[in-house]
C-alpha cells in the first residue's frame, strides 16, 4: 500500500460540495489509543463491520474529516470522544495511508481515501460511550511480538509458513529468504522489537493474515495459506491492524529516546512498575540493575517521599517523573538492551 508522511487537507468546499475540485478524495482519521499496565499494553477498540461480507471485527476509533473540523487533530478527537467517551491527552500524527483501491469503512468516506492515523497515549480509563468500546491487549493482534516468556509459540508456525513462501518465490527466493531472516530474526539474526510493521507487512505479502485475502478481494472459496487460530492473531477491520503495527513500532522505538512512557504511568509508581511497563510495551525482559542505573543516570524520576506496600513483598519507594529532564537532556529515554532471552 502506498504511503506518504504528510498531507494537506482538501479545501473545505471539497468536503461538502461533490462538484468541487478534489471532491473524490476524502480524508479519514484513525486513532491507535494505547494504555499500559505492568502486565500488558492495551489498545482501545470498537466493534464494526470489516467490509462487504467480512462480518463484525475489532476496529480502531475512526471517522471522516468533516467540514466543521478546523484541523485533522480536532476531527480525530471529536470522533474518539463520540465513539468511546475517551478524552485524549498526548497525541501525535503517526502516518498517512493511501491507496487508489483503498477499502473505506464508512459510506461517507468516498473512494479513493487517505487515512491519517494518530498515536495517542492515555492512562487507562473505562470507556463510557458505545457499549462495544473495549480495551484489548495489543498482543491479541500480534501474538508473535511478546518475548517476555521466551520465544512466542506462534513463531514456530510462522517461520515454517514463511520458509515455504520464500521457497516458492523462484527468482525472488533469495530476496524473500533474506527478508524473512532480517525481519523475523531467523537463522541466527537478531530479533528487533521495533520491526512490528515490517513483520506484519511480510505476513500480509505472503498471504498469511486474514486481511490479505479480504482486502485483495480473494474469493472465499479459494484455498488460502493464511495462519489459523492463535498463530495469526485477531483480524481487524480494513487495514487497522497495519495502522496498529505502525503505532507499536513507533512507540517501541520512541521510548528509547523520549520519555513518552511516563504518559502511560500513574502520577506515582515504583521503579519495578516502570520496568514491567516498559517490558510489556517492548515485549522483551530487561536487566533489573541495568534498568535502574539508566533511570538514575538519566535523571528521569525523583522520589515522592512515600512508600508503596502493594508490591507483594517488601515496601518500595514511590517515584514520579521529573519533567525538567526534557529541558536538561536532548534524548532522555530508556535505551536499554534486553536481558537474557529464552529461545526455546
State the Cα–Cα distance between residues 220 and 24, nearest whole angstrom. 30
Judged by average pLDDT, the poorest of 95-104, 260-269, 306-315 is 95-104
pTM score, whole prediction: 0.85
Phi first, then psi: what are they for 125, rounded to 5°? -135, 150
pLDDT at res. 314: 75
pLDDT at res. 53: 60
Residues comprising the chain, all counted: 344
Q: What is the mean pLDDT of the chain?
A: 82
**Three-class SS state of 123:** coil
- What DSSP designation does 29 have? E
Start-to-end CA span in the chain (Å): 35
Judged on CB neighbours under 10 Å (0-12, 13-18, 19+), 194 is middle
Kindly indicate the confidence band of residue 339, based on its pLDDT and cuts at 50, 70 and 90: low
Q: In the chain, what percentage of residues exceed pLDDT 90?
A: 57
Please write the tens of the pLDDT for every residue from 18-60.
Answer: 344 444 567 889 999 999 988 899 999 998 875 556 578 899 9
**Is the model's pLDDT at 325 over the cut of 60?**
yes
| All three cell numbers of 114 | 487517505
127-143 mean pLDDT? 83
**Is the model's pLDDT at 133 over the cut of 80?**
yes
73-99 mean pLDDT? 90
**Is the model's pLDDT at 102 over the cut of 70?**
no
Contact 152, 252 (CB under 8 A): no
List the beta bridge partners of residue 36.
41
Please write the tens of the pLDDT for every residue from 235-285.
Answer: 998 889 999 999 999 999 999 999 999 999 999 999 999 999 999 999 999
81-100 mean pLDDT? 87
For the ranges 87-101, 210-224, 278-292, the one whose mean pLDDT is highest: 278-292
Judged on CB neighbours under 10 Å (0-12, 13-18, 19+), 210 is buried
State the Cα–Cα distance between residues 264 and 257, nearest whole angstrom. 16
**Is the model's pLDDT at 81 over the cut of 80?**
yes
Gyration radius from the chain CA atoms: 21
Interaxial angle between packed helices 154-167 and 173-184, expressed in degrees from 0 to 180 and rounded to the nearest 10: 160
pLDDT at res. 223: 43
**Is the model's pLDDT at 191 over the cut of 80?**
yes
Amino acid at each position: 500500500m502506498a504511503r506518504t508522511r504528510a498531507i494537506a487537507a482538501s479545501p473545505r468546499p471539497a468536503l461538502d460540495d461533490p462538484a468541487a475540485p478534489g471532491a473524490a478524495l476524502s480524508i479519514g482519521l484513525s486513532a491507535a489509543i494505547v494504555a499500559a499496565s505492568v502486565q500488558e499494553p492495551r489498545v482501545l477498540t470498537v466493534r464494526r463491520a470489516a467490509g462487504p461480507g467480512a462480518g463484525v471485527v475489532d476496529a480502531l476509533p475512526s471517522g471522516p474529516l468533516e467540514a466543521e473540523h478546523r484541523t485533522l487533530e480536532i476531527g480525530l478527537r471529536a470522533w474518539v470522544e463520540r465513539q468511546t467517551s475517551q478524552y485524549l491527552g498526548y497525541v501525535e500524527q503517526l502516518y498517512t495511508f493511501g491507496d487508489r483501491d483503498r477499502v473505506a469503512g464508512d459510506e461517507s468516506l468516498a473512494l479513493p481515501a487517505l487515512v491519517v492515523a494518530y498515536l495517542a497515549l492515555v492512562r487507562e480509563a473505562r470507556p463510557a460511550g458505545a457499549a462495544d468500546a473495549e480495551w484489548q491487549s495489543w498482543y491479541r493482534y500480534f501474538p508473535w511480538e511478546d518475548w517476555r516468556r521466551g520465544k512466542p509459540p506462534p513463531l514456530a508456525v510462522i517461520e515454517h509458513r514463511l520458509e515455504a513462501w520464500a521457497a516458492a518465490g523462484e527468482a525472488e527466493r533469495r530476496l524473500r529468504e533474506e527478508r524473512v531472516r532480517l525481519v523475523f530474526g531467523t537463522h541466527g539474526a537478531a530479533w528487533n522489537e521495533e520491526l512490528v510493521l515490517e513483520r506484519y507487512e511480510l505476513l500480509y505479502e505472503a498471504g498469511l493474515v486474514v486481511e490479505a485475502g479480504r482486502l485483495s478481494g480473494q474469493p472465499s472459496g479459494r484455498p488460502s495459506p493464511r495462519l489459523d487460530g492463535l498463530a495469526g492473531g485477531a483480524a481487524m477491520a480494513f487495514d487497522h491492524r497495519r495502522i496498529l503495527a505502525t503505532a507499536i513500532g513507533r512507540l517501541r522505538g520512541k521510548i528509547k529516546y523520549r520519555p513518552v512512557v511516563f504518559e502511560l504511568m500513574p502520577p506515582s509508581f515504583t521503579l519495578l512498575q516502570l520496568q514491567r511497563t516498559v517490558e510489556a510495551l517492548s515485549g522483551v525482559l530487561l536487566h533489573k540493575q541495568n534498568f535502574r542505573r539508566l533511570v538514575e543516570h538519566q535523571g528521569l524520576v525523583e522520589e515522592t517521599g512515600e512508600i508503596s506496600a502493594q508490591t507483594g513483598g517488601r515496601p518500595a519507594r514511590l517515584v514520579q517523573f521529573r519533567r525538567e529532564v526534557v529541558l536538561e537532556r536532548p534524548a532522555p529515554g530508556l535505551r536499554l538492551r534486553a536481558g537474557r532471552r529464552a529461545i526455546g
